[in-house]
Amino acid sequence: MIRKILRENETLREMFVGIGFYGLVIGIILAVFFPLKIYREVGLLAGILCAMGMAVHMAWCLEKIVILDEKGAKAYARKTTLIRYAIVCLVLLAIAYTKAGDPVTLVLGTLGLKIGAYLQPLVHKILHRSGHKTVHDDKEGE
């Protein structure tokens, strides 16, 4: 199911590029300017993975929402949003309790979802300017 969503959803793939770029930049900043590098990087990696997971879950839910009526769509969107927030809170509590990584950098990594959404149009322009062919482009030529 996840492979299908990633294969068919170009926007999601472009968001992943933005999330990854954000994670790389924050990771470099953490490595250069802060002590306890591994501790902070583990938290950041967990946050980036949460952001990517949330993006996939949102794309999956949107496929279902578009076939529901307005009332059902609102209820379903609310429920799935709460599920995503609850999972991130559980990951945050697990990281904080086990001290496996930094909870603050986990939150920074999770914010990569927002940054990925903001960077997606730029990533799209860059990929299409460089002649990158997508599945969508192939279908237009037929």
Residue 142 lies in a domain: no
Q: Which two tokens stand for residue 134?
A: 């997508």
Residue 138 in domain = no
Confirm whether 33 is domain-assigned: yes
What pLDDT, in 10s, does the model give residues 44-73? 999 999 999 999 999 999 989 999 999 999
φ/ψ of residue 11, rounded to 5: -60, -40
142 pLDDT band (50/70/90 cuts)?
A: very low
Residue 63, φ and ψ in degrees, nearest 5: -60, -35
- Helices within 99-134 (DSSP H only): 103-110, 112-129
Within-domain flag for 125: yes
pTM here is: 0.84
C-alpha neighbours within 13 Å on the C-beta side of residue 28: 5
In a domain, 32, yes or no: yes
| Alpha carbons 83 and 89: distance in angstroms, whole number | 10
The structural domain count of the chain equals 1
Q: What integer pLDDT is reported at residue 2 of this predicted model?
A: 67
For residue 110, give its domain range: 9-132
Q: Answer whether residue 129 shows pLDDT above 90.
A: no
Within a domain: 140: no
